C-alpha cells in the first residue's frame, strides 16, 4: 500500500511553541519615581503569568508632556543608559524576559528623540528605534521636542531571543509604509507603543470614530503583512499644564491581534490592564502561502510612493 502524502503546497510549517506576550496599559502616577515603581509592579505581574515579551506604552515613565511647548521640559530627557533604561534592563535580566520600553532620549546637546528601547533578558540594550513620524497638532506638539530618527535603514527590526521585533512608535502606526518596510526586513511581530486620546469636549460619536480608526488601521497592518500586532496605549486623563486645552483623555484600548487581524486580547478605555496573549509566530509563513501579498506586489510600479504628492 502506498502512503499518501500531503502536497507541499498544502503543508503548514511546523508549529513552534507559542510566544506569550504582555501589553501593559497604565496611567501616569503623578511623578516619575511612582510611575516607574508602578510599571515595575505591572511587569512583575506579567512575568508571573509567564510572559516572555513585555511591551510598554509610549513615554511610560512620565506624563505626556507634549500637550504644550516649554523649553524647561527638555530637562525630562535622559540618555539611552539613563534611569529608565537601567531599571528596565535590571528587570529583563532578573525576570529573564524581553522588555520593550520607551524614553524621551537626550542624544546630544539640543538633539532629542522619542525612542523605543529593547532589553533581551539582559541589563544591556539589545536595540532601539527612534520614532520616525513626528506629529504637530494641538495637544500633540511633538515636533517641538523630537527629531525624527535618522538610522540607516530607518525601519529595521530588533533581533531578540523571542524573534525580530518591528518596533514603531505612535504616529508611525498610521503609515502602511512603515509597517511594510518592517515586514520586508523580516520582522516577526509589529509593536506600537502609543499615547493617543480624546479631547474631553469632543462629541462622543467623533471620539468613537477616532478610536475605531486607530484600531482598524493597525489591524489592517496585521492583515496586509500577515504579522501579529501589539498596540499599547496610555489610559486616564492628563491635564494640560498650560491650561490652554482641557487636557487629554487617553483612550486605552490596547490590544494584541494575530496575522489576520483577529483580537487575541483587548483592553477597555477606562482601566489599567496587563493584557496577555499567546502568539503563534509560525502562522506568518502559513498565511503568506494562502494570501500571497508579497508574491504579487508590483514593485515595478511603486516608484511614485517616493513623491510627496502626485497629481495627474
Task: Round to whole Å and give the CA distance between 302 and 183.
Answer: 17
Residue-level pLDDT at 151: 87
Residue-level pLDDT at 257: 98
Query: 1: pLDDT confidence band, cut at 50, 70 and 90?
Result: very low
- Asked, for residue 158, whether it belongs to a domain, the answer is yes
Task: Give the pLDDT confidence of 283-295 residue by residue, as tens digits.
Answer: 999 999 999 999 9
Residue-level pLDDT at 7: 38
ω into 153 cis (within 30 of 0): yes
Task: Give the pLDDT confidence of 130-166 residue by residue, as tens digits.
Answer: 999 999 999 999 999 999 999 888 899 999 999 999 9
- Asked, for residue 7, whether it belongs to a domain, the answer is no
Whether 230 and 25 have beta carbons less than 8 Å apart is answered as no
Query: Which residues make beta-bridge pairs with 129?
Result: 116
- pLDDT over threshold 50, residue 9: no
Long-range CB contact pairs, 12-18, < 8 A, 24+: 12/282, 12/286, 13/282, 13/285, 13/286, 14/282, 15/280, 15/282, 16/280, 16/281, 16/282, 18/278, 18/279, 18/280, 18/281
Mean pLDDT, range 156-185, rounded to an integer = 98
For the chain, what's the residue count? 312
SS3 165: strand
Residues with a known catalytic role? 58, 131, 170
- pLDDT over threshold 80, residue 52: yes
Q: What is the extent of the structural domain holding 228?
A: 19-294
pTM of the model: 0.94
Q: CATH number for the domain including 199? A: 3.60.110.10
Residue-level pLDDT at 14: 57
Query: Which residues make beta-bridge pairs with 164?
Result: 159
Residue-level pLDDT at 10: 44
- Asked, for residue 304, whether it belongs to a domain, the answer is no
State how far the alpha carbon of 83 is from the alpha carbons of 7, 87, 146, in Å.
55, 6, 20
Residue-level pLDDT at 152: 84
Task: Round to whole Å and give the CA distance between 134 and 142.
Answer: 6
Tell me what percent of the residues of the chain surpass a pLDDT of 70. Answer: 95
- Asked, for residue 8, whether it belongs to a domain, the answer is no
Task: Give the pLDDT confidence of 94-130 residue by residue, as tens digits.
Answer: 999 999 999 999 999 999 999 999 999 999 999 999 9
Number of domains making up the chain: 1
Whether 282 and 256 have beta carbons less than 8 Å apart is answered as no
- pLDDT over threshold 60, residue 175: yes
Q: Which three cell numbers stand for residue 286?
A: 502559513
Task: Round to whole Å and give the CA distance between 280 and 298.
Answer: 29
Amino acid at each position: 500500500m502506498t502512503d499518501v502524502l500531503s502536497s507541499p503546497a498544502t503543508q503548514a510549517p511546523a508549529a513552534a511553541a507559542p510566544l506569550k506576550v504582555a501589553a501593559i496599559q497604565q496611567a501616569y502616577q503623578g511623578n516619575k519615581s511612582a510611575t516607574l515603581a508602578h510599571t515595575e509592579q505591572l511587569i512583575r505581574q506579567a512575568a508571573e503569568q509567564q510572559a516572555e515579551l513585555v511591551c510598554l506604552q509610549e513615554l511610560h515613565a512620565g506624563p505626556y508632556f507634549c500637550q504644550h511647548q516649554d523649553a524647561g521640559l527638555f530637562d525630562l530627557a535622559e540618555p539611552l543608559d539613563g534611569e529608565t533604561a537601567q531599571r528596565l534592563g535590571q528587570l529583563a535580566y532578573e525576570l529573564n524576559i524581553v522588555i520593550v520600553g520607551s524614553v524621551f532620549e537626550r542624544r546630544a546637546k539640543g538633539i532629542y528623540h522619542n525612542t523605543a528601547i529593547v532589553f533581551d533578558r539582559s541589563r544591556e540594550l539589545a536595540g532601539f528605534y527612534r520614532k520616525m513620524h513626528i506629529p504637530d497638532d494641538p495637544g500633540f506638539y511633538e515636533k517641538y521636542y523630537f527629531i525624527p530618527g535618522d538610522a540607516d535603514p530607518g525601519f529595521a527590526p530588533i533581533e531578540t531571543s523571542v524573534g525580530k521585533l518591528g518596533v514603531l512608535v505612535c504616529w508611525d502606526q498610521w503609515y502602511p509604509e512603515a509597517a511594510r518596510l518592517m515586514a520586508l526586513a523580516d520582522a516577526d511581530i509589529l509593536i506600537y507603543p502609543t499615547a493617543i486620546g480624546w479631547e474631553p469636549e469632543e462629541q462622543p460619536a467623533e471620539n468613537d470614530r477616532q478610536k475605531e480608526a486607530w484600531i482598524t488601521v493597525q489591524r489592517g497592518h496585521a492583515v496586509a503583512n500577515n504579522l501579529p500586532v501589539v498596540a499599547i496605549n496610555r489610559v486616564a486623563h492628563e491635564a494640560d499644564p498650560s491650561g490652554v486645552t482641557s487636557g487629554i483623555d487617553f483612550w486605552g484600548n490596547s490590544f494584541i491581534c494575530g496575522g489576520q487581524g483577529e483580537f487575541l486580547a483587548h483592553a477597555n478605555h477606562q482601566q489599567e490592564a496587563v493584557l496577555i496573549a499567546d502568539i503563534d509566530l509560525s502562522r506568518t509563513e502559513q498565511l503568506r502561502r494562502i494570501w500571497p501579498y508579497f508574491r504579487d506586489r508590483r514593485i515595478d510600479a511603486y516608484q511614485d510612493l517616493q513623491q510627496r504628492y502626485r497629481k495627474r
